[in-house]
Structure 1
Amino acid sequence: MSRVFRFYHPRPITGLLLGLCCTTTLPALANDSDLLTRSTLTGDWGGLRQQLNEQGITFTGDYSGETAYNAAGGLHRSARYSQNIKLGVQFDLGKLYGLENHDKVQLTVNDRRGNSASEDLVGNRLPIQENYGGLYTRLTELSYERTLFTPALNVKLGYMAMGNDLGGLDSGILCNFMNAGFCGHPLNMSGGSGWTNYPNAHLGVRVKYDLSAAWQLRVAAFNVDPESNGNSSRAWHLGPKHSTGTVVPIELVYKLQGELPGEYKLGYYYDSSDAKRIGSDKEVAGREGHYLLIDQALWNSQATTGRSLHAFGQYSAASSAASPFSTWYGVGMVLYKPFAGRPRDTVALGYGRAVPNPRSRDVQQDAAVANGKAFPNLDSAEQLIELSYGYQATPWLTLRPDVQYIIEPGAFSGEQIDNALVLGLQVKATF
């Protein structure tokens, strides 16, 4: 039976929106003639925002809403909506107190609400809505950052999400998509180790060192605390509830300059936590993985400034002993400024393949046989094809119609589910 279309309007989100309106929107709307041309929805707050920024205090905020309708296949014919609101403030200690090492303090609060199209409608592993998960208000960052000893060395420490600095492409090319399989970092990292997805944050330290103008080394160490992930009772607790170990990512970054710029990342991570070996009662000591990420410009228009075509690639492999999600492959292209009169629009096409761990498949098959059930004849992976158009309606508002075709949605659950066609719309607004 199909489920009805549900919208979720919790009180916490209403309070957040009212607070935002009271503190930011009203001063801006005193002169709303530039609503369609200002860089943010709430404007300059009657000059206060610019004044605070010059003094070293920068406020930020954004909203994303994602609606997905399952038009064919999957489990049910219906739609789901999810949303994320992020509010932050950064303190530039150089401007505020005259410090000379680019000292900054970042405070960020995050709120998520809604329902999952993947869980309710399709039954697949890769989240159709990248902003779904951890449906409560939480602290997502309280960090201190500065250069140390030399301008080439930058250190950040505190309570923060790993993916803010590691595991994704700095260019942001991957978030021209709505599916979490593309937007962010490869999901098998968090599926098979203590690497955590945003907005889950943990205590940690991150170091960046510029080896040259083109090469950079990034190293970090984060506390692993699975009991705090997605736990609303830990939303404002910086300290861990139950540490199991430390996850250490190492990333080498190369940024190609020139007419056809590119970004290349080669990474490795190790989690010292003990974990249960899939298909066994024994534990494996430590989990690891590696990844390669690429964003390369293929073409720049000589006739139209800003029009370019970029290709991206992703490869990630996780622990074969303890990760249910062993390998991820992703490739695609993004065309920037597809039309001369639309300088900030994009067209994005991507293909991804998520490969379940054969150990997990064996466990599912053994359980089916033990219960006298037939195990479906599935292929080896969940596959995703996604096409989106990013329409920059105003400098602060992006509308992104989106189509996703999901092949073998039941690859990870061991169920026979028809391929699904999902129609979506992502709305992003900068406050």
Structure 2
Amino acid sequence: MPGVLRFTPFFLVLTSTASLADDNTLTGDWGGLRHQLEADGITFTGDYSGETAYNAHGGLHRSARYSQNLKLGVQFDLSKLYGLANGGKVQLTINDRRGNSASEDLVGNRLPIQENYGGLYTRLTELSYERNLSPALNLKLGYMAMGNDLGGLDSGILCNFMNAGFCGHPLNMSGGSGWTNYPNAHLGVRVKYDLTPDWQLRLAAFNVDPESNGNSSRAWHLGPKHTTGTVVPVELVYKLRGELPGEYKLGYYYDSSNAKRIGSSAEVAGRGGHYLLVDQAVWNDPASPERSLHAFGQYSASSKAASPFTKWYGAGLVLYKPFTNRPRDTVALGYGRAVANPRSREVLEDAALDAGQPFPNLDSAEQLVELSYGYQATAWLNLRPDVQYIVEPGAFSGNDIKDALVFGLQVKATF
């Protein structure tokens, strides 16, 4: 039988190509060692995502850009390792990013076309401890990214898209406060409390340290370099059960940091925002339980005093199992609108006037339409052809840039 070599951190394993297609991970079970380690309380994880985007029309240049993200992690179940009744879990995660930005180099828009671009170096992204303090109360603390537990939809529906405007959480939250995007991590604590089986309250507090964000010299430093304040998000989550399940999140966050007021030399004391996220099944196929259509919605508003864009609106549809013989494939269509802060626009207009240059007639927002097809080639490999149409790419920069049509391909592999 033909075979291929697969590398693991422990040894080389010779396995058949048929087995490789059937495995849940690229590296398989490591000859049984992986399964044994999990039973003992040590779970290794790893995944890769690569995103290639080609600007076919409009924007700044006709060309392609590639970016990638590599994530490796290990979780220690202290209950299994030491025979404790409720020992909790320790999570360690390392992240590496490389590549180039299609938004910066080719289109000139604000919403990143490749959600995995940014922070192009190797870093520690999580060192946390999590434990159930009671059947209803869960505590997690340490060095971690806020967006892992707050600000996004637990269902993962939003990452059926390649643009960061959808995948993750609304970007005006991080643009106008100390809320940080993955893989940026900070010291913090998060609690989840089950009010009822359907309702949950989430509350967190994270250190705000802007000088460490995207700073490769701080890649392995857990402590802050320059604390400006604390960001406190609170989130109410409702999970609808039944034939048409749904997930609803209403959130508010406040950052105690002082920040420069847009268009002024003065500072604003504290900044905050609120958001509403929805994922609701609107149809399922009685003859095929995995086949369903979900609608999602996003609304987020942030501080007008200090946020580059004040509002984000997003909506779309995701069809799971579009074909009978493709049970894990998806089709996703989304629309998003990022509204630029009028104060930021005034700053750009004043700068153009001072330079004796005309200011272009631009829309007040950048708009995005995205269509993708998620092809689950194997249990561990997903291929996602993607099309994005970006309206008014220069809305945030004050530049007259033609609407852009971008073709992309996202590749995700689980190790």
1:175 — aligned with what?
159
Q: How far, CA to CA, are the matches of 2:124 and 2:7 in structure 1? A: 20
2:9 to 14, 20, 23: 23
Q: How far, CA to CA, are the matches of 1:234 and 1:197 in structure 2? A: 16
Correspondence 1:215-234 to 2 at 5 A: 215-234=199-218
**How many residue pairs end up in the alignment?**
410
2:79 — aligned with what?
94
User: Shift in Å at residue 101 of structure 1?
Assistant: 2.5
Matched, 1:259 2:234: no
Q: How far, CA to CA, are the matches of 2:9 and 2:26 in structure 1? A: 13
1:140 — aligned with what?
125
User: Shift in Å at residue 98 of structure 1?
Assistant: 1.9
Q: How far, CA to CA, are the matches of 2:217 and 2:402 in structure 1? A: 38
Q: How far, CA to CA, are the matches of 1:69 and 1:24 in structure 2? A: 38
Q: How far, CA to CA, are the matches of 1:24 and 1:357 in structure 2? A: 52
Q: How far, CA to CA, are the matches of 1:25 and 1:347 in structure 2? A: 38
Matched, 1:302 2:268: no
User: Shift in Å at residue 99 of structure 1?
Assistant: 2.1
1:208 — aligned with what?
192
2:3 — aligned with what?
none
Deviation track 1:339-391 (CA, whole Å, cap 9, x = no partner) reads 00000000000000000000000000001001000000011100000000000
1:384 — aligned with what?
368
Matched, 1:324 2:305: no
Matched, 1:127 2:112: yes
Q: How far, CA to CA, are the matches of 2:295 and 2:47 in structure 1? A: 27
1:13 — aligned with what?
none
Q: How far, CA to CA, are the matches of 1:196 and 1:151 in structure 2? A: 30
1:155 — aligned with what?
139
2:95 to 90, 110, 113: 110
Q: How far, CA to CA, are the matches of 1:185 and 1:226 in structure 2? A: 19
2:379 to 395, 408, 413: 395
- SS at 2:25's partner residue? coil
Distance 1:102 1:151, change over 3 A: farther
Q: How far, CA to CA, are the matches of 1:352 and 1:101 in structure 2? A: 43
Distance 1:351 1:124, change over 3 A: same
Q: Is the CA contact (8 Å cut-off) linking 1:30 and 1:46 kept in structure 2?
A: no
Where does structure 1 differ by over 6 angstroms across 4 or more consecutive aligned residues? none
Which stretches in structure 1 are left out of the alignment for 5+ residues? 1-19
Aligned-residue sequence identity (percent) comes to 82
2:345 — aligned with what?
361
Matched, 1:192 2:185: no
Q: How far, CA to CA, are the matches of 1:336 and 1:100 in structure 2? A: 39
Q: How far, CA to CA, are the matches of 2:193 and 2:212 in structure 1? A: 30
User: Shift in Å at residue 32 of structure 1?
Assistant: 4.6
1:417 — aligned with what?
401
2:39 to 54, 60, 77: 54
Q: Is the CA contact (8 Å cut-off) linking 1:251 and 1:268 kept in structure 2?
A: yes
Q: How far, CA to CA, are the matches of 1:32 and 1:101 in structure 2? A: 41
Q: Is the CA contact (8 Å cut-off) linking 1:25 and 1:42 kept in structure 2?
A: no
Q: How far, CA to CA, are the matches of 1:64 and 1:99 in structure 2? A: 36
Matched, 1:71 2:56: yes
User: Shift in Å at residue 325 of structure 1?
Assistant: 1.2
- SS at 1:307's partner residue? strand
Equivalent position amino acid for 1:221 in 2: A
Q: How far, CA to CA, are the matches of 1:417 and 1:99 in structure 2? A: 61
Which stretches in structure 2 are left out of the alignment for 5+ residues? 1-5
Q: How far, CA to CA, are the matches of 2:84 and 2:206 in structure 1? A: 27
Q: Is the CA contact (8 Å cut-off) linking 2:8 and 2:27 kept in structure 1?
A: no
- SS at 1:305's partner residue? strand
Q: Is the CA contact (8 Å cut-off) linking 2:337 and 2:366 kept in structure 1?
A: yes
Equivalent position amino acid for 2:85 in 1: E
Q: Is the CA contact (8 Å cut-off) linking 1:68 and 1:425 kept in structure 2?
A: yes
- SS at 1:46's partner residue? helix
Matched, 1:343 2:327: yes
Backbone CA RMSD of aligned residues: 1.0
